[in-house]
Amino acid sequence: MTEAVRLVIWDMDETFWRGTLTEGGVTWRADTQNIVVELARRGIMSSICSKNDFESVRTILSEKGAWDYFIFPSIDWTPKGPRIQRLIETVQLRAESVMLIDDNHLNLEEARFFSPGLQVAADTIIPSLLGDPFFRGKDDSGLSRLKQYKVLETRKADEERVRASSGGDNVDFLRSSDIRVRIEHDVEAHLDRAIELINRTNQLNFTKRRLPENVEPARRRLRREISRFDTQAGLIEVSDRYGNYGLCGYFQISTQRDVARLHQFCFSCRILDMGIEAWLYQRLGRPTLEICGEVLSDPVSHPAVDWIGLRASVGTENTREAGTAEHMLGSVAARGGCVLWPVAHYFRVSSTSVIGEFNTVRDGKLIMLDHSLCLRNAILGVSEDQIAALAPLGYIAEDFHPQFFDHSGERPIWILSNWADLARKVFRHNKTGIAIPYQPPRTDAEMAIHETVRPYLEAEFTPAFYDANEVKETLGLVISKIPRHGLLFLLQIPEVERQPGGEAKGNRQRQALNRWCAEAAAGHDNVRLVQVSDFIDDDTEFLNEKMTHFDRKVYYRLYLHMLSQATADSG
């Protein structure tokens, strides 16, 4: 044998039982029935490929209580090779993980001809089968895997009927199946399942970035990866009108400078041809996906999927809004720094549309769209002369025509993080009067670019300060553009900063910024202040010295809190 067996295909006559059914009857073998039951408890499935009358075989197996332990039984008088090939394709496994047990060596050779890589064995293997390490499987005493395959079996039968009546198109069937996806963001609670999907899936594993085979190193590495502030992850649970297929997909996405990239994107083949991977890819906003190796579908070029819905999900992490369900919102607009990248990600899977505007880099220059002064300029208007004056600093006209206010709907929400306002030093153009934030260089590469800009900056601009009155006035302008039926969340920065010795100490500038935001929001029923510190359990969830990057769970808690506020306000 070459690898662990996940499916055993049984011949019946002189294999599963003694004798030949059409030649005077058979003698029941309790040992083979017990083996099939025990394999199911190990998560290893059993099927049938027999040359016999279907109803006769089903009657015998049903009387003995064995019929329901077999999936996709193939019982007729046609050659076995093509049938086994179709069976393996239907069950959506690789031939290498399937074994055929048959007393006829010609059947074994025929099966291998049609399914290269198939493992085969004579009936003599049966007494030692359960002790073989390739049949060890893993504990599934609840028979969850068998139940999921039974759901798939029923679904496939209906799909074939619809295909036959519609000329081979299964979209009508998919639309009638009521497919629902639930996204489980608490990956830590299902870490081993995520590892299994990453390491064991092939045909629908689009990235193939494997983890260590040993479970403890794999757990440590995955925990480390998904704790990053710029990383979001989720497990995919699929159900339809036939039943629940369990957690059968996993994604891991990183976002930097508003560019999202899929690091892991893998699915069990039990959801093949349902469109799940394409739906999720579209739902995530079509992030960059570099497909590795051969796969059975292409989510990047797949047409829009309109037959899958998002199922209500309950947060299971230690959240401030434990038990809050996900609901489909209207549009969401988020503008700010890196604190909002992951928050916007979570809203993408529960909202009709998400607009995200974040700081970015253009020609090596930091464009501080997360500074509220940029939003102020956009609201008040920027002339062509002012845009020309800002061009050498990297800004373009589109930076002052934001989409931030260009959305509506029944339950629109806005999220603003103006933490960049702490960089209170700005530069005012001497001739046009426009002020703009400009980030001093922090690295050698930035210094090299700054040197090309510095003569122009020093000649054409004068340093200025963005003071409390301007911050509050800007927030007032923003609030005035939020309709009464909308909701604006202002994210408040943690008011402490870690000192060189490691001790966290209060930061007066941060305290002042939060106070200005609170004063601007006072008296406005459709504005909510969100103190990020309230959603941090302990210091281990701060990921940088500035204490402005957090563990992934913090962003999820923020999302759940804002989601609950938005849905509560909507009634």
- Which residue, chain included where needed, has tokens 């990956």? 187
pLDDT score for 194: 96
Strands 360-362 and 259-267: unpaired
Residue 170 has pLDDT above 80, yes or no: no
Burial class (CB in 10 A: 0-12, 13-18, 19+), 340: buried
pLDDT tens, residue by residue, 469-516: 999 999 999 999 998 888 999 999 998 877 666 677 788 999 999 999
Residue 181 has pLDDT above 50, yes or no: yes
CA gap 477, 520 in Å, rounded: 10
Residue 447 has pLDDT above 60, yes or no: yes
pLDDT score for 318: 40
- Which residue, chain included where needed, has tokens 């916007």? 344
pLDDT tens, residue by residue, 265-314: 999 888 888 999 999 999 888 999 999 998 889 999 999 998 998 875 54
Spatial contact of 35 and 72, defined as CB atoms under 8 Å apart: no
CA distances to 5, 134, 334, 427 from 200, in Å: 13, 15, 37, 55
Q: Which one-letter amino acid corresponds to residue 546?
A: K
CA gap 54, 76 in Å, rounded: 6
Where residue 329 falls among pLDDT bands split at 50, 70, 90?
A: low
Looking at per-residue confidence, does 462 or 164 come out higher? 462
CA gap 483, 478 in Å, rounded: 11
Q: Which one-letter amino acid corresponds to residue 450?
A: H
Residue 563 has pLDDT above 70, yes or no: yes
- Lowest mean pLDDT across 252-256, 405-409, 464-468: 405-409
CA-atom Rg of the chain in angstroms: 30
Residue 152's closest CA among 92, 229, 207, 112?
92
Q: 18-21: which pairs have CB atoms within 8 A and are 24 or more residues apart?
A: 21/52, 21/53, 21/56, 21/57, 21/60
pLDDT score for 166: 65
Q: What percent of the chain has pLDDT over 90?
A: 57
Where residue 384 falls among pLDDT bands split at 50, 70, 90?
A: very high
| Domains defined along the chain, listed by start | 7-141 (3.40.50.1000), 147-310 (3.40.630), 329-493 (no CATH)
Where residue 172 falls among pLDDT bands split at 50, 70, 90?
A: confident
- Lowest mean pLDDT across 13-27, 114-128, 189-203, 321-335: 321-335
Spatial contact of 251 and 233, defined as CB atoms under 8 Å apart: yes
Residue 248's closest CA among 219, 280, 222?
280
pLDDT score for 567: 79
Q: What's the DSSP call for residue 17?
A: B
CA gap 214, 90 in Å, rounded: 31
pLDDT score for 321: 38
Looking at per-residue confidence, does 356 or 478 come out higher? 478
The full DSSP string for 317-376 is: SS-TTTTPBP--EEEEEEEESTTHHHHHHHHHTTEEEEEEEE-EEETTEEE-TTSHHHHH
